[in-house]
A = this chain, B = another copy of it.
């Protein structure tokens, strides 16, 4: 008998605004939960608090039976079980991953799709096999263009039935920090997060980090499956549709919490900033309406695929409600816009974030 991968639910999710909740249920079935803001204060998000994005039900995979097939335009197809993957050289990378639909509720008019409010982002330390190592072992054949990752999850879509599948360009697949991951934060993956094995693509929105990974196929043309052409695509009026790829520059507050009471004295205001298009170069905060932005102190520029902490000290100038806003800039010159760029399916909403606090 093979051992069934443990399927206990990640974290303690609340169905409503519970003051202690670490997660909020966005959709119960298939299971989609986001982290409550109070659960995002630490640099590494505990697996139990991390957002869960599922297109279909969690597949029940038997640890011993599960295989990752590496095929397509390769010299030597591979068929690797979890033990074999564990026996290969392991690499650990810290990665911030944001769901492409995170902050969809900030867009106006509200696009269809799960109504993520902003907690579908987190940072984890992933351990597994560098994808280039597997591709090297399989031997990439001439004409290769992309690597298509397919999950063991599947279900009905508007056009019939589909397995979850997403591609990345060959260059991204050959980045040594693209990982076929077996562990999150030093422990085996939880079922909700892709156990026993998932892909982790740093810098890209979460849709590229295929969970329950069952197949890696080297292909010679652009993949155009359902989740690449009908979902996870920017559709804007008057523009050709474009697949969602790298994370847009964004920042968020983790302290104080939105709606909280604060004292009249000096107060630490802080959060995280991330970008898939460069390193975080600047975070600014506005403490009232209008255009006065104050630069925050950035944490040391540490792990290149992880968010960067920022903070400053602020003293409320008067008693009452204050709306604080934050915006990030990356070293490629990308600046978080006042409002996220609207698109039909509501992806990449990276508009300036705000919180209200009550000074008294």
Residues of A within 8 A of B (CB): 14-17, 24-29, 32, 104-105, 108-113, 115, 117, 259-261, 286, 288-291, 318-323, 325, 338-339, 346, 351-352, 354, 356-360
Knowing A26-B321, A321-B27, the reply to whether A260 touches B17 (Cβ < 8 A) is yes
Contact between B108 and A319, CB atoms less than 8 A apart: no
Q: What's the dominant secondary structure at chain A's contact region?
A: loop
Contact status of A15 and B260, CB under 8 A, knowing A289-B111, A289-B113, A339-B108:
no
Complex Cα–Cα for A12 and B352 (A): 33
A318 & B28 in contact (Cβ 8 Å cutoff): yes
Contact status A110-B323, CB under 8 Å: yes
CB <8 Å contact, B352 and A109: yes
CA distance A104 to B288 in the complex (A): 12
Closest chain-B Cβ to A323's Cβ sits at a distance in Å of 4
Minimum distance in angstroms from A186 CB to a CB of chain B: 31
Residue from B14, B28, B318 in contact with A27 in the complex, judged by beta carbons closer than 8 Å = B318
CB distance from A192 to the nearest CB of B (A): 15
Complex formed: what's the CA distance from A359 to B115 in Å? 13
Known: A15-B261, A15-B358. 7 other contacts (CB 8 A): A16-B261, A16-B360, A24-B321, A28-B320, A104-B289, A105-B323, A108-B352
Q: Are B356 and A320 in contact (CB under 8 A)?
A: no
Chain B residues near A319: list those with CB within 8 A. Answer: 15, 25, 27-29
Which listed residue, B261, B289, B360, touches A346 by the CB 8 Å rule? Answer: B289
Contact B105 A24 (CB under 8 A): no
Nearest to A345 among chain B residues (CB) is B289
Do A323 and B115 have beta carbons less than 8 Å apart? Answer: yes
**Mind listing 26 A-B residue pairs with CB under 8 Å?**
A14-B358, A15-B261, A15-B320, A15-B359, A16-B259, A16-B260, A17-B259, A17-B260, A17-B261, A24-B321, A24-B358, A25-B320, A25-B358, A25-B360, A27-B319, A27-B320, A29-B318, A29-B319, A105-B354, A109-B352, A110-B323, A112-B288, A112-B290, A115-B289, A117-B356, A289-B346
Contact assessment for A289 and B112 in the assembled complex, using a CB-CB cutoff below 8 Å: yes
Residues of B contacting A360 with CB < 8 Å?
A: 15-16, 25, 28
| A346-B109 Cα distance, complex, nearest whole Å | 19
| Complex Cα–Cα for A357 and B105 (A) | 13
Q: Which of B320, B325, B358 contacts A32 (CB 8 A)?
A: B320
Q: What residues of chain B lie closer than 8 Å to A104, measured between beta carbons?
A: 289
- The CA-CA distance from A29 to B359 in the complex, in Å, is 12
A356-B15 in contact given A289-B110, A320-B27, A338-B108 (Cβ < 8 Å): no
A91 to B26, CA, bound (A): 51
- Of chain B, the residue at the smallest CB distance from A291 is B109
CA distance A115 to B322 in the complex (A): 7
Task: Please give the distance in Å from A158's CB to the nearest CB on chain B.
Answer: 13
Residues from chain B with Cβ under 8 Å of A259 in the complex: 16-17
Complex: how many Å from CA A319 to CA B112? 17
Bound: A109/B354 CA distance, A: 10
List residues of chain B with CB within 8 A of the CB of A15: 261, 319-320, 358-360
Query: What residues of B have a CB within 8 angstroms of the CB of A323 in the complex?
Result: 105, 110, 115
Min Cβ gap A321→B in Å is 5
A115 touches which of B17, B321, B346 (Cβ 8 Å): B321
From residue A120, how far is it (CB to closest CB) to chain B in Å? Answer: 12
